Amino acid sequence: MKLRYVFVSLFVIATLYAQPAVCSEEGKAPARDVVYFSAITLYHPIVMYQRYQPLMDYLTKNTPYKFELKLSQDYRDIINFLKSNKVQVALLGGVTYLEAKKEFGVIPILKPLGQDGKPFYRCVFIARASNNKINSLSDLNGKSVAFASRLSTSGGLAPLYHLYSHGITLNALSRYKNLKYHDSVAREVLRGNFDAGAVIDSVANRFKNRGLKIIDVSKPIPGLPIVVRADLSPKIINAIKSALLSLDYNNQEHRKMMALWDEEFRYGFAEAVDEDYESVREMIHFLAAHGVKIP
């Protein structure tokens, strides 16, 4: 009898341990693998969270993974996040992508579309609407200009390339400074602390009716790349691509949902490859030839 009791007890214990750990508590769904996502600091962190969290919710709902947003303090932070595997997926700019690729290897997988359905965006020079002395790029000679981060493509590299291509050097400006965020540039110009500024087109459009005017626009810049670490599982990469490439701006339900996302993501996505950012490399080489190092 005792022997039988011992046998039954051992069988029950073995059966319990053999059961797969599907959930920690009865009735709860199994835990999903977490994928951490970050993005270049176009805006103040609070604004970043408001504009990027809905995208995380969409990816969590439409893939087998849970996506969590990890915000960075500046452009260098996000490169370090990727390098140390604190994040596995990130929205970068052309310059930060090339820096990350040079340091440890990342792969571009997607790029957002613009309102015209093409995967490009622009750098925009802005000034106060009431400033009658600045109406064109040539008017910036002898004026103060605010730029975004030195690692920003549309707020750092592209505006310098645009200025130098038109014969305006940094020495021709009375003063210049790199700020952390694109919306900080817009606000400093509005406050009169700088005569003009250079920002990504989405920020320029947002502030256009708040007392700023557009004085010049750069040539198209390749769309901000969504990149992944080189060692990220192909299953995760394919899940991300499938979820985002399925979005169609002409679909009314999709359009309504994406209206809550950051402007960069509201029009859908296209696939990205390294060659798409050759023009960014060319801008860096052009400025280097003129004695300007980027970053």
Q: Would you call 110 exposed, middle or buried from its count of C-beta atoms within 10 A (0-12, 13-18, 19+)?
A: buried
Residue 110 has pLDDT above 50, yes or no: yes
pLDDT in tens, 221-234: 999 999 999 999 99
Average pLDDT value over all residues in the chain: 90
Residue 44 has what pLDDT? 85
Paired tokens of 34 = 């977490």
Structure tokens at 257: 């949902």
Q: Which residues of 210-226 are buried (b: 16+ CB within 10 A; e: fewer)?
A: eebbbbbebebbbbbbb
Averaged over 215-226, what is the pLDDT?
97
- Which H/E stretch holds residue 47? helix 45-62
> Which residue would you say has higher pLDDT here, 125 or 8?
125
Q: Answer whether 63's CB lies under 8 Å from 88's CB.
A: no
What the block records as the tokens of 15 is: 């059966």
In this structure, CATH architecture of domain 123-219: 3-Layer(aba) Sandwich (3.40)
pLDDT at 72: 84
Looking at residue 28, what is its pLDDT?
A: 64
**How many angstroms separate the CA atoms of 238 and 127, rounded?**
43
Residue 266 DSSP one-character state = T
Domain 34-114+223-276 adopts which CATH fold?
D-Maltodextrin-Binding Protein; domain 2 (3.40.190)
Q: Kindly report whether the peptide bond that precedes residue 295 is cis, defined as omega within 30 degrees of 0.
A: yes
Per CATH, 34-114+223-276 and 123-219 having the same topology is answered yes
Domain layout of the chain by residue ranges: 34-114+223-276, 123-219
Least confident interval from 7-21, 63-77, 99-113, 157-171: 7-21
What band does 27 get if pLDDT is binned at 50, 70 and 90?
low
* ∠ Cα 196 222 125 (to 5°): 10
| Predicted confidence band of residue 126 (pLDDT cuts 50, 70, 90) | very high
Sign of CA dihedral 77, 82, 88, 93: positive
